[in-house]
Amino acid sequence: MKIFLADTTATQKLGITVGQSLNAGNVILLEGDLGAGKTTLVQGIGEGLGITDLIVSPTFTLINEYTQGRLPLYHLDLYRLEPNEVAALNLETYWEGIEVTPGIVAIEWAERMPYKPESYLSVRLTYGHENTRQVEITPHNCAISEEIASMRM
Ligand SMILES: Nc1ncnc2c1ncn2[C@@H]1O[C@H](COP(=O)(O)OP(=O)(O)O)[C@@H](O)[C@H]1O
Ligand SMILES: [Mg+2]
């Protein structure tokens, strides 16, 4: 399913819609070049979850946790890691919600993951001309909400 994103605001709005429709344990795997809008989309997701803290890229911190919203948001960025380093992180801890409160897991640079969860939303952002972007959302063993589906091109 593809959605056209005319500008930064459109990406944030899509994120809000996604954030409002997610359930505990949902995983969003984000792919796309630097500046494609992955963090922007996660900022919208945070807003949709009711998080008022500023969501910043966890490029250096690896993971940022936000707990003030409807559900916890675990925001990861694997940009600086090799797949074997990613494997050592035991990311399943987050999506299985075993040692943490079950919440939403959003992972930037999911290309770096040597293994993936059983179910997740794949989100691929690509550049268009000027400030436009296109996003392709593919559900893997999960449903896509009506609200998101209605935004398709
Ligand atoms: N349609 C758009 N969607 C998302 N970001 C956009 C768009 N147009 C311009 N931008 C700008 O591009 C940059 C995207 O940065 P960011 O979301 O951090 O990307 P990434 O996390 O993929 O590296 C921001 O400065 C944002 O304002
Ligand atoms: Mg980013």
How crowded is the C-beta side of 82, counted as CA atoms within 13 Å? 2
How crowded is the C-beta side of 8, counted as CA atoms within 13 Å? 4
Ligand 1 close to Cβ of residue 35 (< 6 A): yes
For the domain that residue 102 is a member of, what is the CATH number?
3.40.50.300
Question: pLDDT tens digit string along 18-48?
Answer: 999 999 999 999 999 999 999 999 999 999 9
pLDDT of 60: 82
Q: Is the pTM of this model over 0.95?
A: yes
Q: How many whole angstroms from 80 Cα to the centroid of ligand 1?
A: 19
Q: How many distinct structural domains can be found in the chain?
A: 1
Question: pLDDT tens digit string along 89-128?
Answer: 899 999 998 889 999 999 999 999 999 999 999 999 999 9
Ligand 1 close to Cβ of residue 131 (< 6 A): yes
**Of 34, 40, 77, best ligand 1 pocket probe by most atoms within 8 Å of the beta carbon:** 40
pLDDT of 148: 92
Which residues span the domain enclosing 42? 2-149
Tell me the average pLDDT across 74-100: 91
SS3 helix, strand, coil % of the chain, rounded to 5? 30, 25, 45
Q: How many whole angstroms from 50 Cα to the centroid of ligand 1?
A: 21
